[in-house]
Chains A and B, each alone.
Chain A
Amino acid sequence: MPLPLVLHLIDDTTPGGVMRVIDFLTTSPAMSAFARHQVMRVSRGAALPACRADVIVSHLTVNWRALPRLIAFRARHAHLPLVHVEHSYTESFTAQNVPGKGRFFALLRTAYALFDRVVAVSDAQGDWLRSRGLVRASALRVISSTVDLSGFHALPAPRGRARVIGGIGRLHRQKGFDVLINAFRALPGAELELHLYGEGPEKAALQALAGDDPRIFFAGHTDDPETAMRAVDVVAMPSRWEAFGLVALETRAAGRRLICAQVDGLRDSGDGGLFVRGHRTEDWTAALLATLASAPPPRLAPGADSAAADWQAMIAELNCAEAAAA
């Protein structure tokens, strides 16, 4: 019997964490062991195509404009198992970006109801989807995102006193690097450095915020995330929302010190990190000071995550149900 064909639909190919997670899902040996994966890029405006596959996985953006397309797609593939992976929406995303929250929840409930399974990418996101009644319990699965971490495991451990703090991610208000720059500027110590890896709409504003502090560097976007990690001793993630903290996972694999905002999926980022409630400058300065003075945490053990096995179980379950129905 041939391996089942799993078709992944994506509508946003901006390089970044989500694309790397999708690359892992569709190309890693662990995922290829139980299914053949195909990626189909669809355009945001147009109707979704008719597809042939055993399981279809949506990595699409859910919004009101996309809803008719999703409904039509469901109708066209009435008997195919459909899975949606929610890479974006969280409690804090809603708090920060959604003016009419009741209306937004109505959208999510309607859209998620079209799918046989909805995958949350972190426990915190899963709890939110469940407690808000956005996904029925029988359809919800939590499968933490992951990527190939071998490059991070292979990095030499940081040695000596921590000196370089890194902010890794898009220069967008989501990532909270304004908080990081303000907190860093209040730190004494001429030998300290703050490196920001990424590009984005907030770049000019962040550069203005950094002012003439010679210790702050804007390194731009790097295609090779290990390079950024190699250069830093501490990774700070003052994100305002985050469905899954991929950089936090990579930080732990690389044995770097980690500071996270206590929001959404970042709350699941393990015991080694320091968690900060809120985004006040003085709280983040204190957290930076404490982390710089701390010893590096133990590394995350390789192969600790169960993402591929969880996907395999879900795909098998869906195929069995379909075979029984046929």
Chain B
Amino acid sequence: MPYASIVVPAFNASATLPDTLLSLRSQTFRDMEIVVVDDGSTDETAALVTQLAREDGRIRLVSQGNRGLAGARNSGIHAALGEIVGFCDADDLWMPEKLAAHVEHLARAPHVGLSYSGSALINDAGDRIGHAQRPRLRRVRARHVLTRNPVGNGSAPVLRRAALEALRYRPHYETERDWVFDETFRQSEDIECWLRLCVTTDWSLEGVPGLLTEYRLSAGGLSARTEAQLASWERMVEKLRPEAPALFAAHEEAARAYQLRYLARRAITGGDGAAAQDYLRRAFACSSRPLFEEPLRTGVTAAAALLIARFGTAPLDMARSLRRL
């Protein structure tokens, strides 16, 4: 039995999946399987995986009707055989030493149930765009997960099987298999799961150094769904607040402010300065903690929002082209 499983949820991913799978097959830690869950794709995803599985016996294909990201991950977990289970979305990449780093970390720290790393952001062409997620790695508390989500993205974490077991449950209407991720969420399913791990189990979260994931920031779909994103985040808060009332009483408003600041940054990337300013106003109405805890990042966000609202995206484009030089 492989020691590690990597679950790859894939929906119409034939354009990016070959690179993703290549990055996983190139892991220096080799005692592993790759479980690709074809989540009802209508493109070549299944054929592509079947072809690659012939080349590399560590690749397996699980097919299902479309259930969404959480549902695909749950099916992958159900099929996975490893003692530890990692996740990599079908458009992201793992650096070759990533799995080895998490295997070593989880062996060394028995209280850690979820090990993650920082991520470098890449664009549609697969080039690093100069931004990175460099989260807090040690002494990670529930309040950090609520306010800043250090796990960062769905391709960063590797979990111990026992931690997945602690998260596992089955809604009464589910007939096929258990859930780890809550499939009623279409967004915020990651943070809901990590925070649930924090407040309902005794497992810790910790990171390993390095930018070991390449996380794709797609140009499409950035600006449109921000309100839906906020709504799903609020639903996550509604769901978990009764589990840990003291945590939410102390940190919910700050977490909301950070969430709104994040949406402001997305609006800036999408070129909508007015929306960005509106999100920032709402953020500060909740809490000024982002300003005190991360003055530089919050200040830059506010300045960028102002500039774009005044002058459009020209200054930002210019800054970008300067950086490319």
Contact = CB atoms under 8 A, between A and B. Distances in A.
Contacts of B139: 100
Interface stretch (A66-74, A153-161, A246-254, A278-286): A278-286
Contacts of B142: 99
Interface residues of A, number: 24
Contact of A102 (B109, B199, B242, B244): B109
Contact of A91 (B110, B201, B204): B201
A281 B239 CA distance: 9
B111 A277 contact: no
A99 to B, nearest CB: 5
Looking at chain A's contact residues, is the secondary structure mostly helix, strand, loop, or mixed?
helix
B245 A281 contact: no
Contacts of B112: 102
A302 interface: no
A278 B242 contact: yes
B242 A277 contact: no
B108 to A, nearest CB: 11
A257 interface: no
Nearest to B111: A102
Interface string A264-287: 000000000000011111000000
A100 B205 CA distance: 10
A101 B245 contact: no
Nearest to B242: A279
B246 A94 contact: no
A92 interface: yes
A192 B139 CA distance: 47
Interface in B86-130: 109-112
A219 to B, nearest CB: 23
A132 to B, nearest CB: 7
Contact of A281 (B200, B202, B242): B242
B110 A95 contact: no
Nearest to A133: B110
Interface string A164-179: 0000000001000011
Contacts of A279: 242-243
Interface of B: 109-112, 139, 141-142, 162, 169, 198-204, 239, 242-246
11 contacts: A91-B201, A98-B202, A99-B142, A101-B202, A102-B204, A128-B202, A132-B202, A133-B110, A240-B243, A278-B242, A278-B243
